[in-house]
Amino acid sequence: MAISMTEAAANHVRRSLEGRGKGDGIRLGVRTTGCSGLAYVLEFVDAPDSEDTVFEHHGVKVIIDPKSLVYLDGTELDFVKEGLNEGFKFNNPNSRGECGCGESFNV
Amino acid sequence: MALLQIAEPGQSPKPHQRRLAVGIDLGTTNSLVAALRSGISEPLPDQDGQVILPSAVRYHADRVEVGQSAKDAAATDPLNTIISVKRLMGRGISDVKHLGDQLPYRFIGGESHMPFIDTVQGAKSPVEVSADILKVLRQRAEATLGGDLVGAVITVPAYFDDAQRQATKDAAKLAGLTVLRLLNEPTAAAVAYGLDQNAEGVVAIYDLGGGTFDISILRLTGGVFEVMATGGDSALGGDDFDHAIASWIITEAGLSDDLDPSAQRSLMQTACAAKEALTDTDSVEVVHGAWKGLLTRSAFNALIEPMVARSLKACRRAVRDCGIELDEVEAVVMVGGSTRVPRVREAVADLFGRQPLTEIDPDQVVAIGAAIQADTLAGNKRDGGELLLLDVIPLSLGLETMGGLMEKVIPRNTTIPVARAQEFTTYKDGQSAMMIHVLQGERELISDCRSLARFDLRGIPSMVAGAAKIRVTFQVDADGLLSVSARELASGVESSIQVKPSYGLTDGEVARMLKDSFQYAGDDKVARVLREQQVDAQRLIEAVEGALQADGERLLDAEERMVIDMQVEELRELMKGTDGAAIEQQTKRLSQVTDAFAARRLDSTVKAALSGRNLNEIEE
């Protein structure tokens, strides 16, 4: 099981961590909510939990809890620009459908 | 799919519940919009990667052009291209006439004294012009953040008064923005540096822009920024540095003074480029036409020294106005593009005896701070707890009482939002209406304060003087805007007003009003006491004359009547003068000589009320 991250995403995470002044890495996860079942979680991590799995890409730690890993296995985290908007995008092979707005998904 | 931002631990927003909020620096020359994304507050660029939007609006018959291209057209289409509209915000037609010579626009007086600018698209108020700038920033923010905005924090100069703040709020509304808060520019700059996280201390904000200089001294106590003093020079800025270099070129190159406009423009561009180059290098080769010369940084420093000295003088004065010493200032924040000039930084560091804060881009620092505040107000909590920023009202608010006196209801430096109520009463028997005159200022007499609004409370039931209870409530919201309501407690009749003054005060006037209030404190007190005595005397005379007319014939003999008349006459004479003590004494004397008369009147009233009734009726 693995999670990956593009260089663009890693650079932006690193910058955000520097701007914030603290933090060990970022947490990827899912939680059951939203109009289509599951929603992604993307948060700073100050201290990983003991059961977390830690991946490292381009010198940035990606931290994920075991339950979320099931839904996110094979996911690549990317940082993209769409017009003026920019942000992180989960390329998740497990996702079977998204709600219209794309804020939640199902597997 | 929607693009995500990184959230604080445990605070990922639920789908559809991201609350997007931005900070907007609506400047005289330039405006920008910033937002907090993935924990970093930064300005949002447009399609071309530019974060700065020149505050210029050009009206065409069928469209509106905002930004750099509009600014470029200012010379060719001056009547339809509005620049520096911030200077007109909240001003009345008379203020604008005063500025008139410097501005090319065709002004038309509007309702409520608001000036309108005649353009090819019809009459435009300063509020509408500002709204057009805000609209562009709003569209940029919504495209960048990918959603509708919950609201915005818009910054205003610390010296902006109610009228100017209200005008800014109106502009935001017109642009479809919800204003979460108007924030003072120096406060926003302090927030950008996280200075609000300190427990307390005094902070100086040195803001040297293109055309204006502002110094603000803030005191932070328990999360509250209080503006202790503001000062500056509305005609001092980086443009003056350019002019200094341009004059130097003219002298060195032996050019004639009266250049045509296009030569003038190219000379200014050369000068500005030389100034910017000298920030990073020690000398620059200046080429103007066929002429070439070397400008060293030390020569440039000498050219601008008089202007730098002027700014330092204003700093010293502001610090002195606060009654503190220079070394009590714990941090100095640099704002405005002209603070990039090394000599300016050095001079400020020398004055305050500490290195000023310069890490954040001085053109962006205000918007960055506003965005941090916007994010918190929108309900997106930040790591490290709530950041609750409070501002204070700069001048006391109150109303006119009898004798032309200012009764302060909310004293200056009260933190906002605030609501205060005070009870007032009627002055005359059977008074059915009361005029509420709302004032701002520190002086005792209303003629020395600024009138904000007037309204009437009508339908007060007929009662003797002093019996009616009228509660007047002053409320100042988080943006510093005032509403006043009056309510007669017995009948419940009510009246209120949202204070939207017709024109504003300049920062110099606010400063002057404050200074005067200290300087004339003694005179004011004497004046207040005199007015109070005059009012007391007048009230007594009216009461006595009313009584004489009603019962004088019946209850007084000729001699008694003459004594009272004489005392009334004497009091009248004294009231024309300014001897407060004499008026007070004579008022007492008149009161004494009428005591017996008053007692008789009371007796006769009671007798009249009781006559013809038996004891049982009365006991019931």
pLDDT, average across residues B123-143: 93
Residues B352 and B330 sit within 8 Å (Cβ to Cβ): no
- Of the candidates B310, B305, B308, B303, which has an alpha carbon nearest to the alpha carbon of residue B286? B303
B207 is catalytic: yes
Pairwise CA distance, residues B483 & B419, whole Å: 9
Q: pLDDT tens, B422-439?
A: 888 888 888 888 888 988
Q: Find the Cα–Cα–Cα–Cα dihedral A58, A61, A65, A68, rounded to 10°.
A: -30
Decide if pLDDT at B35 tops 60. yes
Q: pLDDT tens, B501-529?
A: 433 445 555 566 666 666 676 677 777 77
Residues 5-64 of A with CB under 8 A from B: 12-13, 15-16, 19-20, 26-27, 31, 33-35, 39-46
B48 vs A: CB within 8 A: no
Shortest alpha-carbon distance between residue A55 and chain B (Å): 17
Look at residue B284 in the predicted model and tell me its pLDDT: 93
Residues B545 and B568 sit within 8 Å (Cβ to Cβ): yes
Q: Kindly identify which residue of chain B lies nearest to residue A99, measuring between CA atoms.
A: B1
E strands, B142-233, in order? 149-156, 179-184, 200-208, 213-221, 224-233
What is chain A's pLDDT, residue by residue, as a tens digit (107 residues)? 788 899 999 999 998 888 888 888 999 988 766 555 677 888 899 888 888 889 999 989 999 988 788 888 888 999 988 777 788 888 888 776 666 555 666 66
Q: pLDDT tens, B233-276?
A: 878 888 899 999 999 999 998 887 777 777 887 888 899 999 99
Shortest alpha-carbon distance between residue A71 and chain B (Å): 17
Pairwise CA distance, residues B439 & B133, whole Å: 32
Please, what's the b/e burial string for B423-460 (b: 16 or more CB within 10 A of its CB; e: otherwise)? ebebbeeebeebebbbbbbbbbbbebbbebbebebeeb
If you average pLDDT over every residue of chain B, what do you get?
84
> CB–CB of B38 and A39 under 8 A?
no
> CB–CB of B5 and A90 under 8 A?
no
Q: pLDDT tens, B383-421?
A: 444 445 556 676 788 888 887 888 888 877 677 778 888
> CB–CB of A42 and B16 under 8 A?
no
Shortest alpha-carbon distance between residue A43 and chain B (Å): 4
Q: Nearest Cβ partner of B2 from A33, A86, A102?
A: A102
Report residue B562: phi and psi, to 5°. Answer: -65, -40
Q: pLDDT tens, B275-324?
A: 999 999 999 999 988 889 999 999 999 999 999 999 999 999 889 888 89
Give me the catalytic one of B25, B214, B444, B479: B25
For residue A62, the surrounding DSSP H or E stretch is strand A60-64
Shortest alpha-carbon distance between residue B200 and chain A (Å): 22
Query: Which of helix, strand or coil describes residue B493?
Result: coil
B42 is catalytic: no
Q: pLDDT tens, B444-475?
A: 888 888 788 788 888 888 888 888 888 899 98
Residues 351-390 of B with CB under 8 A from A: 383
- Of the candidates B471, B469, B461, B401, which has an alpha carbon nearest to the alpha carbon of residue B431? B461
Give me the catalytic one of B71, B86, B124, B169: B86
> CB–CB of A99 and B47 under 8 A?
no
Please give the ipTM for the structure prediction: 0.80
Residues A30 and A64 sit within 8 Å (Cβ to Cβ): no
Pairwise CA distance, residues B325 & B323, whole Å: 7
Look at residue B68 in the predicted model and tell me its pLDDT: 93
Give me the catalytic one of B95, B161, B185, B507: B185
> CB–CB of B12 and A41 under 8 A?
yes
Query: End-to-end CA distance of chain A, in Å?
Result: 17
B39 vs A: CB within 8 A: yes
Preferred mutation among A26, A103, A106 to probe B, highest tally of B CBs within 10 A: A103
Residues 107-146 of B with CB under 8 A from A: 140, 143-146
